């Protein structure tokens, strides 16, 4: 991450804003301060953040906090039912729930005529109270007060309520089965019976076996409860909350959707439980057991409702803009929530393209898993379950393509090979993993493989499939009826295996086998929060992942692949096969060095020269000159051996001939070399001074002290500054040879420290004494595209203009570089990242020549339209190294000079690698 120093302006210039991104808020696990470097070719399996640094998200859009509700929305469906007394007072005797705009449901006991027929209903909060008369009371005809059988009634109001955020109908759970172990009983405070403003409380209850004889009511002792009732037990009991169990006391579950919750009415307390009872167990009339009676009553009274209106997905969607937020989820997502279903689709199309499905031959039979998913883990490799791709026919038919499914079109990529784990056994979850390699590389942002058994955090993104309209965040009455399915990623908790193993029986479905599940290979995920059916369903092979901060950018790391589950971990566990136990096998299959372009170390040529000793000048026989130094001081020896290049030993194996630029520390006597090699320490105090000054007044230190502008005289007497250079000593500027060809005559002046300078006193103009272009510069290929400007006299060194350092490592390149350029007199900073040479060659039509480096412009994940900025010849490419005094002493290194490349974000950018010309610079800088 760019820290506070000479490139302070970088962050502000890169801030384009990030569109809504549907993922768990990224975490920092202590790797954010890494200084990542990329080798010439791939050597490590865990290099994802290095290879794909260009995709790393380095900004987070932190929105303003969501506004607080004027009134709580948790009880907007709860109705208080009253009886008018003499004198006009109302006795609010019982409770119910609004199920339609003119219908309230309650217990039949509430309608007992002995206390007077209910006449009025109250809804809403303190500000928006609605009191509406009851038109008709419809009690279930088979109600039995003695045991609470059919204790249910409907109240038809004499007019429709005004639906708003404080008065919204509840949803109904009309299924026979009730899978929820914990439910909420909605009660009221003792004072609410008389007061005009209701006060409700929520009491958590747990389900007891319906048929248990231990679940009895005071009036039905030892008889148990009928099948149409639920037995619930309160988790907490005290004198305060057992004094008033009102008639019509609702029992509900709040189900999650749209980062909000909707109440689903499960039951109503039975008449066998009287007010004042402190029995911890209560019986509730199940709403689902009376669905046919409910619909019959509503249809007979011409209420404009159909059975489909009570489907969970339809009800949840109807008033989702008025339901209470699940604030902890919204905050956890940091507000990056799509605001409508169209954006949910865009999230899938743009940001979830690393998740694919599989295409089988049209005539394939017995396809094992047609609804499977796979995950890109590099741009040519997909991970999935073995059961998803294993051949199931005698002919060995397997999938032919992976398919990116999007809202607008599906894209297929042909499969090159499928490697199933050699120890996978069909119909078992042991070693249920496979590697799918594609025929060609695809421009998709892959997920990285988490190779450690310990998860960095207990919260994850668990990928499933769900209805688009139920997976966006929206707070308005406007409703979209888009019920199409899309990949979705709800937040989920890691669940201890010991707890999970007792619940695995719930996961059995269809022909799926749970044989072979073990804590050593599998992970379990679960939340107590249930979801509305249809919000998310598990997809075999789908990734379980989390965004992690590495080297100042966020990358998605996949921990596991889903093997079994139903509701994406909500209420019922989801099981996933962990990747870490298979890291060695994955490495052997995915990391194919035969395609890396390098040779084996055994093919290297090692020459022993007995005439050389330490500190002697030497040559490796390939044109590179160096000095004999201890092996540990030479940064490039290991890489040269790996690539099969020639290595010269000076007398014995502990001293090697090392190119000048690769020496970690040397004490050469050349003045230029000494100045270059001491750059870090030489200008230490100036960097500290700039940091201190910037803290006091940013505008005074906005300039780039190392960057120079190269100027040519014009006919009108003016100077045209056409390209950039980089001050590397008090009298030497390095730039590209192509820059020096801008005019047919040589440049005469250089303006140093002027880029982004707030005042002319902050920069200096110096006359150029000599121009030196590399003798082997080739304008056609860009080979040796480098030149030097020797100033007439050393510049005055101060905090506004002083030399920058040269990056001298020949084997590794920093992955977080910035190209500094100019467009219409405005300076911009473009993040660029190196790529492996083999990948570079795949993208180029001509070979990469010696001394060049290959980079790509940043395409941060989540940015829909990255800028297509054109770089100019001579533009400098720098790396800012954070030293031990990290926020104060940032050293800026010149890594390369832009040579050539297209303007589009996907075009390869070719740069002249400065470390390759370190000796040339020293030899020609006099």
Does some domain include residue 329?
A: no
360 and 257 part of one domain = no
Look at residue 401 and give its three-state secondary structure: strand
Give how far the C-alpha of residue 273 lies from the chain's centroid of Cα atoms, to the nearest Å. 50
Residues pairing with 358 in the sheet? 402
- Residue 164 CA: distances (Å) to CA of 71, 123, 339: 11, 11, 20
Return the top range by mean pLDDT from 318-322, 485-489, 498-502, 748-752: 748-752
Measured in whole angstroms, the distance separating CA 916 from the mean position of its chain's CA atoms is 38
Q: How far is residue 5 CA from its own chain's centroid? A: 29
Asked if residue 772 is part of any domain, the answer here is: yes
Give the CATH number of the domain where residue 806 resides: 2.40.10.10
870-888 pLDDT, tens digit each: 999 999 999 988 655 445 5
Two structure tokens written together for 302: 């011409």
CA 14 to chain centre: 19
Share of the chain above pLDDT 70, in %: 84
Residue 16 lies in a domain: no
Categorize the per-residue pLDDT at 44 as very low, low, confident or very high, splitting at 50, 70 and 90.
confident
- Rounded to whole angstroms, how far apart are CA atoms 828 and 822? 6
Tell me whether residue 391 is in a domain: yes
Q: How far apart are CA 193 and CA 513, in angstroms?
A: 55
Contact between 544 and 355 under an 8 Å Cβ cutoff? The reply is: no
Predicted model pTM: 0.84
CA atoms within 13 A on the CB side of 537: 10
CB contact at 8 A, 106 and 157: no
How does pLDDT run across 605-658, given as a tens digit for each residue? 788 888 888 888 888 777 777 888 888 777 777 777 766 778 888 877 788 888
The pLDDT value given to residue 149: 87
Is the pLDDT at 38 greater than 60? The verdict is yes
Least Cα distance to 200 among 232, 246, 169, 231 occurs for: 246
Reported as type and span, the H/E element at residue 919 is helix 918-924
Could you tell me the strand order of the sheet in which 647-650 lies? 606-609, 647-650, 655-659, 625-630, 617-619
pLDDT, mean over the chain: 84
Q: 341-346: list long-range contacts, CB under 8 Å, 24+ apart.
A: 341/468, 341/469, 341/472, 341/480, 341/482, 343/20, 343/472, 344/22, 344/468, 344/471, 344/472, 344/486, 344/488, 345/406, 345/407, 345/468, 345/486, 346/19, 346/407
63 belongs to a structural domain: no
Cα 921–Cα 925–Cα 926 angle in degrees, nearest 5? 150
3-class DSSP assignment, residue 419: strand
**Are residue 533 and residue 629 in the same domain, yes or no?**
no
**Does residue 868 carry a pLDDT above 60?**
yes
567 with 623, same domain: the answer is no
Q: What is the DSSP letter of 567?
A: S
pLDDT band (50, 70, 90) for residue 664: low
Tokens of 549: 């901060």
The whole-angstrom separation of Cα 148 and Cα 108 is 9
Residue 166 resides in a domain: yes
Same domain, 635 and 738: no
Q: Residue 33's Cα: distance from chain center in Å?
A: 19
Q: Is the domain of 649 the same as that of 689? A: no
Q: How confident is the model at residue 707 (pLDDT cuts 50, 70, 90)?
A: very high
- In our burial notation (b when 16+ CB lie closer than 10 A, e otherwise), range 869-895 reads eebbbbbbbbbbbbeeeeebbbbbbbb
**Structural domain contains residue 423:** yes
What is the full DSSP assignment across 437-449? Answer: EESS-----PPEE
pLDDT of residue 882: 66
pLDDT above 90 for 416: yes
Of the pLDDT bands very low, low, confident and very high (cuts 50, 70, 90), residue 21 is very low
Residue 667 lies in a domain: no
Distance CA 435, CA 418 (A): 6
Query: 366 with 316, same domain?
Result: no
**For residue 509, pLDDT beyond 60:** no
Neighbouring C-alpha atoms within 13 Å toward the C-beta of 561 = 32
How far is 450 from 351, CA to CA, in rounded Å? Answer: 19
Q: Which two tokens stand for residue 618?
A: 């030497």
For 397-434, letters b (16+ CB in 10 Å) and e give: bbbebbebbbeeeeeebebeebbbbeebeeebbbbbbb
> Tell me, what's the pLDDT at 591?
86
In angstroms, how far is the first alpha carbon of the chain from the final one? Answer: 37
d(CA 422, CA 430): 11
Q: Predicted confidence band at 912 (pLDDT cuts at 50, 70, 90)?
A: very high
Residues 283, 376 within the same domain: no
- Residues 59-67, mean pLDDT to the nearest whole number: 71
Q: What is the pLDDT of residues 730-764, one digit of tens each?
A: 999 999 999 999 999 999 999 999 999 988 888 99
Contacts of 698 (CB under 8 A, 6+ apart): 8
The answer to whether 486 and 464 are in contact (CB under 8 A) is: no
Helix, strand, or coil here: 911? strand
- pLDDT at site 14: 25
Question: Which residue's entry shows tokens 């619930």?
Answer: 232
How far is Cα of residue 366 from the mean position of the Cα atoms in its chain? 36
Q: In sequence order, which ranges of 269-337 are alpha helices (DSSP H)? A: 291-300, 312-318, 327-332
Give the pLDDT confidence of 97-111 residue by residue, as tens digits: 999 999 999 999 999
- Say yes or no: 641 and 755 in one domain: no
**Which of the residue ranges 310-324, 354-368, 467-481 would you say has the lowest mean pLDDT?**
467-481
Specify the number of domains making up the chain.
Answer: 4
- Residue of 173, 143, 382, 118 whose CA lies nearest to 287: 173
pLDDT of residue 196: 61
Q: Which of 537, 556, 591 is the last residue of a domain?
A: 591
Whether 678 and 579 share a structural domain: no
The verdict on 718 and 761 lying in the same domain is yes
pLDDT in tens, 423-472: 998 888 999 999 999 999 998 999 999 999 999 999 999 999 998 888 88
Rounded mean pLDDT, 687-693: 85
Comparing 322-336, 343-357, 728-742, the range with the smallest average pLDDT is 343-357
Q: How far is CA 527 from the centre of its chain?
A: 20
State the CB neighbour count (10 A cutoff) for residue 232. 25
- The model's confidence at residue 555, banded by pLDDT at 50, 70 and 90, is very high
- Give the whole-angstrom CA distance, residue 371 versus residue 510: 13
Contact between 663 and 629 (Cβ < 8 Å): yes
Residue 533 has pLDDT above 70, yes or no: yes
Q: Which domain holds residue 710?
A: 674-925
| Residue 585 and residue 634 in one domain | no
CA 661 to chain centre: 39
Distance between CA atoms of residues 267 and 462, nearest Å: 32
Percentage of the chain with pLDDT > 90? Answer: 52
Whether residue 92 sits in one domain with residue 216:
yes
């Amino acid at each position: 991450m760019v820290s506070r120093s000479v490139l302070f302006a970088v962050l502000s210039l890169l801030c384009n804003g990030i569109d809504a991104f549907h993922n768990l808020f990224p975490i920092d696990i202590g790797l954010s301060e890494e200084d990542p470097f990329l080798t010439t070719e791939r050597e490590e399996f865990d290099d994802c953040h290095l290879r794909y640094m260009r995709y790393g998200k380095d900004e987070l859009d932190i929105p303003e906090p969501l506004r607080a509700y004027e009134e709580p929305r948790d009880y907007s469906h709860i109705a208080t039912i009253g009886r008018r007394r003499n004198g006009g007072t109302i006795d609010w005797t019982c409770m119910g729930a609004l199920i339609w705009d003119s219908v309230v449901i309650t217990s039949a006991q509430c309608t007992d005529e002995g206390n007077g027929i209910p006449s009025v209903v109250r809804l809403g909060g303190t500000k928006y109270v609605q009191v509406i008369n009851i038109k008709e009371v419809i009690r279930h005809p088979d109600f039995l007060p003695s045991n609470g059988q059919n204790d249910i009634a409907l109240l038809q109001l004499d007019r429709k309520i005004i639906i708003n955020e404080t008065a919204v109908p509840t949803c109904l759970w009309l299924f026979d089965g009730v899978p929820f172990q914990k439910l909420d009983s909605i009660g009221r405070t003792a004072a609410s019976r008389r007061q005009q403003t209701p006060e409700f409380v929520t009491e958590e209850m747990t389900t007891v076996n319906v048929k248990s004889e231990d679940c009895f009511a005071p009036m039905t002792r030892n008889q148990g409860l009928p099948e149409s009732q639920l037995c619930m037990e309160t988790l907490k009991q005290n004198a305060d909350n057992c004094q008033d169990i009102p008639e019509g006391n609702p029992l509900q579950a709040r189900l999650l959707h749209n980062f909000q919750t909707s109440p689903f009415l499960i039951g109503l307390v039975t008449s066998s439980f009287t007010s004042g009872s402190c029995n911890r167990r209560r019986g509730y009339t199940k709403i689902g057991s009376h669905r046919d009676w409910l619909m019959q009553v509503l249809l007979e009274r011409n209420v404009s409702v159909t059975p489909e209106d009570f489907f969970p997905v339809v009800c949840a969607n109807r008033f989702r803009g008025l339901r209470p937020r699940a604030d902890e989820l919204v905050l956890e997502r940091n507000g990056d929530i799509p605001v409508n279903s169209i954006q949910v689709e865009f999230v899938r199309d743009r940001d979830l393209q690393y998740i694919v499905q599989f295409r089988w031959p049209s005539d394939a039979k017995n396809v094992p898993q047609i609804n499977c998913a796979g995950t890109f883990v590099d741009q040519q490799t997909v991970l999935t379950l073995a059961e998803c791709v294993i051949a199931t026919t005698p002919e060995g038919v397997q999938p032919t393509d992976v398919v990116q499914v999007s809202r607008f079109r599906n894209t297929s990529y042909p499969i090159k090979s499928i490697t199933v784990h050699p120890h996978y056994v069909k119909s078992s979850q042991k070693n249920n993993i496979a590697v799918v390699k594609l025929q060609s590389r695809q421009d998709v942002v892959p997920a990285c493989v988490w190779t450690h058994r310990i998860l960095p955090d207990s919260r994850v993104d668990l990928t499933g499939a769900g209805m688009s309209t139920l997976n966006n965040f929206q707070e308005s009455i406007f409703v979209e009826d888009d019920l199409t399915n899309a990949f979705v990623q709800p937040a989920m908790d890691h669940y201890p295996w010991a707890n999970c193993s007792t619940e695995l029986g719930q996961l059995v479905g269809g022909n799926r086998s749970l044989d072979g599940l073990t804590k050593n290979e599998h992970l379990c995920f679960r939340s107590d929060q249930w979801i509305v059916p249809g919000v998310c369903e598990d997809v075999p092979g789908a990734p379980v992942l989390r965004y992690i901060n590495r080297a100042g950018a966020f990358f998605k790391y996949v921990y596991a692949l889903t093997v079994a589950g139903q509701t994406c971990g909500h209420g019922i566990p989801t099981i996933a096969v962990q990747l870490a136990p298979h890291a060695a096998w994955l490495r052997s299959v995915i990391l194919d060095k035969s395609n890396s372009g390098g040779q084996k170390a055994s093919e290297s040529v090692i020459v022993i020269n007995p005439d050389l000793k330490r500190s002697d000048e030497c040559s490796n026989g390939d044109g590179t000159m160096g000095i004999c130094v201890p092996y540990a001081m030479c940064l490039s020896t290991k890489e040269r051996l790996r690539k099969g290049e020639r290595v010269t030993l000076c007398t014995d194996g502990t001293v090697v001939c090392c190119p000048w630029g690769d020496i970690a520390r040397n004490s050469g006597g050349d003045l230029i070399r000494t100045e270059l090699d001491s750059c870090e320490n030489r200008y230490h105090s100036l960097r500290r001074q700039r940091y201190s000054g910037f803290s006091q007044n940013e505008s005074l230190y906005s300039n780039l002290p190392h960057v120079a502008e190269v100027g040519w005289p014009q006919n009108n007497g003016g100077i045209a500054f056409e390209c950039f250079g980089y001050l590397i000593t008090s009298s030497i500027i390095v730039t590209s040879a192509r820059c020096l060809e801008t005019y047919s005559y040589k440049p005469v002046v250089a303006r140093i420290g002027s880029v982004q300078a707030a005042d002319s006193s902050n920069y200096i103009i110096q006359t150029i004494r000599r121009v030196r272009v590399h003798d082997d510069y080739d304008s056609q290929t860009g080979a040796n595209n480098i030149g030097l400007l020797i100033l007439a006299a050393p510049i005055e060194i101060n905090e506004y203009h002083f030399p920058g350092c040269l990056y001298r490592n020949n084997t590794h390149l920093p992955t977080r570089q910035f190209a500094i350029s100019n467009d219409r007199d405005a300076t911009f900073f473009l993040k660029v990242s190196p790529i492996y040479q083999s990948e570079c060659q795949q993208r180029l039509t001509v070979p990469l020549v010696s001394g060049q480096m290959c980079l790509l412009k940043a395409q941060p994940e989540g940015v829909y339209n990255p800028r297509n900025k054109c770089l100019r010849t001579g533009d400098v490419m720098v790396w800012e190294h954070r030293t031990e005094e990290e926020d104060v002493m940032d050293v800026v290194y010149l890594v390369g000079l832009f040579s050539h490349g297209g303007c589009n974000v996907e075009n390869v950018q070719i740069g002249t690698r400065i470390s390759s010309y370190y000796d040339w610079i020293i030899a020609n800088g006099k």
